[in-house]
Structure formats: C-alpha cells, structure tokens
Amino acid sequence: MVKKIRYAIGIDLGGTSIKLGIVTDEGKIIKKNSVATMAEKGPDSIISQIKKGIKELLEGNKLKINGIGVGCPGVVSTKKGTVENPPNLPGWGKVNLVKILEKATGAAVFVENDANAAAIGEYIFGAGKKYNSFVMITLGTGVGGGIILKRKIYRGDFGAAGEIGHITIDYKGPKCNCGSYGCIETYIGNSYLVERVKKELNGKQSVIKELVHGNLNLLTPKIINEAAGSGDEFAEEVVREMGVYLGAALASLSNALDIGVFIIGGGVSGFGKPLFEAIEENARARVLTPLRKRIKVFPAKLRNDAGIKGASALVFYK
C-alpha cells in the first residue's frame, strides 16, 4: 500500500518578508514563495499579505492541505491563537491570527513562537526525531530556545519558557540587553560576539583582518568560522571559547532538567565540527556524573527554510 502523503502550509512571519511553503509530512517543501511584510503598514496590511501569499501558493494545484502553521516572534498564546507585539512588527498590538486565518482559509491554523516552532520542526522532521526530550538553541542576533520535554513542547505556565539565551554564566558578567548580567547571549549572540572579537583582535595577528579587507565593520560570525577553518589560531581560540560559554550554560540546564540532548541551529550552526565538539566537551565536563554519557550536542538538520518547515511542523505535531 502506498503511504498517503499529507501536506501543510508553513508560514515564517518575519519583519521584512513572509516566507511560505507547502510542506509534506516528511518535511519536504514542494512549493514555496515569499511576499513583502511591509511591517510599517500595520497588521491589516500584513494579514492581507499573508492571505495573498497563501493564495499564490495554492494556485495551480489541488492539494488537500491539512492545516496552516505560523511561526513568529513575540508572545504567542497557542490556546487563544493570539500573537502579541512581535518585536519586528511595530504597532502590531495583539492579533488573533488563528481566528482571522481560519476564517479566511477554512483550514485549521496553528501559531507558535518562532523558537518553539524551530524546536518542533527538529522534533518532527529533523535532528530531534529520535529523542523524547531535548533543547533546541537558535543562535542568531539573540539566542533563542525551545524545550521538548517528554515528546511535548514545554511552554511554561504563561508561554514564556525556553529563554535559554538568558541563562547567566557569570553573575558579574557583561550587561545584557535584558537588564541582567552575564547572560549567555552576551557571549555568543551575533552582535555581542562580533563586538568582542573586534576588541580582542586589537594588536593580534589573524587572517580575519584580511578576510574583512582591513574593515572590521564587515566582521560576521561566518568570517570567524571561515578563519577558524583555515587554521587561524586566534579564530580557533574564539571558537573554543564559544564552547566554554555555551557548554557552561547547557550544563546548568542539563543538571536542572536531566536533559542530555542539545540541538543548535541558526546562523552559527553553519560553524563546523570544532564548535560542536567544544560545546559538547565543556558541557560534559561540567554536568553531574550520571548525565555525562548522555550529553550530545549537534547541529540542527533544518537549515534553509527552517522557518517554513518549523511552522509547517505545527500542523503535524498537533
């Protein structure tokens, strides 16, 4: 008997563009498109853009869609279906996206915070498939997280769980945008990382300087990775340090939650093996003995279109 393929629409609601795709229940994108968010025009316009994107996506095919999943930043109430003040959509307020899109499409609609959607995406389609419990960390401008506990996304009592980026690794450490000190985000969040490396580069020899053609304003995590890959000692040390920092944060979480599996996505997941090995080694050295052999740190599997796939996974997860 041929297995019947199911389809979902995944929508990644970003500040600049809205990415949409039809995704199979095995995580394959069979059609995708993208429309401008035009965030400055406010929620009504954004919702029109989403509808336009869905319409375009469905044109010319007769697929039965099992549902629509939307991943977006901000405070999401999965029960009520509301999305509140996504930081990249100024003036949004509070919108019941589920109600609006269900009415417009007739399909079942699910919304989720983008960090949780990424975790659900890895759980349904990706590197987390085999595990009952894991933590998904998304390294980007900020450091986001989603926690799968015993085969379910853990949202906490008020939907705010998973803020892995604000685990402190030094209570007297650098000031974080959140108001606290020494949050792991202040060590490995893209902009903090780049700023620190810029300072540390001062007076040191490194191929990084050539890679940015002498203009350190062009420095990105990608370039640090490239330099480390080419054997640059300074860049290699930066990668090892990232392992120390993130390893310490993950060990705290591991000891508290008895979780050994960590999946890392976002820009930095493009970093090579040395970073993942450094994180794993440091976390392993720091956790309580019984946990040691269970510590595993590996890159996310959903790379390109992770946002679309994660959002579509909300449908299959449900």
Q: Which residues bind a copy of itself (CB under 8 A)?
A: 75, 132-133, 145, 147, 149-150, 154-164, 166-172, 178-182, 244-245, 248-249, 251-253, 255-259, 285-291, 294
| Nearer residue to a copy of itself within complex by CB, 64 or 172 | 172
Minimum Å distance from CB 166 to a copy of itself?
4
Minimum Å distance from CB 133 to a copy of itself?
5
Give the separation between CA 184 and CA 167, rounded to whole angstroms: 6
User: What are the strands, taking DSSP E only, across 59-116?
Assistant: 65-72, 75-77, 82-84, 94-96, 109-113
Strand order in the sheet with 296-299: 152-153, 143-149, 134-139, 261-266, 296-299
| Nearer residue to a copy of itself within complex by CB, 24 or 168 | 168
Give the separation between CA 239 and CA 26, rounded to whole angstroms: 34
Q: How many CA atoms lie within 13 A of 63 on its CB side?
A: 23
| Nearer residue to a copy of itself within complex by CB, 146 or 221 | 146
Minimum Å distance from CB 242 to a copy of itself?
12
Give the separation between CA 112 and CA 296, rounded to whole angstroms: 26
Minimum Å distance from CB 255 to a copy of itself?
4
| Nearer residue to a copy of itself within complex by CB, 153 or 219 | 153
| Nearer residue to a copy of itself within complex by CB, 196 or 222 | 196
Minimum Å distance from CB 189 to a copy of itself?
14
The amino acid at 203:
G
Answer for the pair 160, 147: CB distance below 8 angstroms, yes or no: no
Give the separation between CA 50 and CA 33, rounded to whole angstroms: 11
